[in-house]
Structure 1
Amino acid sequence: MPIVKLYTNHKVTENFAKDFTTFLSTTLNKPNSSIFIIIKDQEKLTVGGESDDRIVVLELKAVGIINNTSNVGFSQAITNYLTQAIDVKPEKVIIDFALLDPGFVGKSGTTVEEMQKSKQ
């Protein structure tokens, strides 16, 4: 159940959310229905005090799939996608990965940890 927050100083297209969800589903090997995305476009963002270029700050939180090894591939794939979809330079994309504890994520009136137990 990945949770993604994307901030950019650029206006994204109307189809971006759907297309990005499909991309993340494939990249993270998770169903579309499990991916939650918040998109904040046209935000005031700077890098080094400058805001002339397009910038993307992305937070990716998930249970179980975030680790030092997988993050390298995720970072490369997501950055490549965003350079095409938003026309942002790779050096203007920053990704904050966070591993979520399933006992601290609520969904459907319970926690992910309890949902995982019921599947066993």
Structure 2
Amino acid sequence: MKRFEEGQLSRRERQVMDILFRKGKCTSEQVMEELPDPPSYSAVRALLATLEQKGLATHSKSSRKYVYEATVPEKRAKRSALKQLMATFFDGSPEKLVAALLDPKDQKLSEDEITGIRKLIDERTDS
């Protein structure tokens, strides 16, 4: 799981993990159907086997098929991805990340979104 927390997954591995988080449990065929520009069936099976070796996924057998699921909680995965994003693009600074989100040249946030963000910040600073 250390590789996951350090952001050391390939693009395809991240895509597969996203599918596992969204669907919960799925077969390799279902993963393949969800992937953009899917590789071959054997490549999908190899990706799933790699994720199992890294401790990020596991499988059980249902009839003659393997059913895969993530072993890492989605919340932990999101936190890890956010840390990697901040480290890569925002010098590890949450302030720079939020500033980029609020930049009107890049982002057109609705009043509801801005209100929601303010509410979240207020909740965090009040406690």
Per the normalisation by structure 2, the TM-score is 0.27
Higher strand share: 1
Which one has the largest radius of gyration?
A: 2
Per the normalisation by structure 1, the TM-score is 0.28
- Choose between structure 1 and 2 for higher RCO, CA contacts under 8 A separated by at least 6 residues: 1
Higher helix share: 2
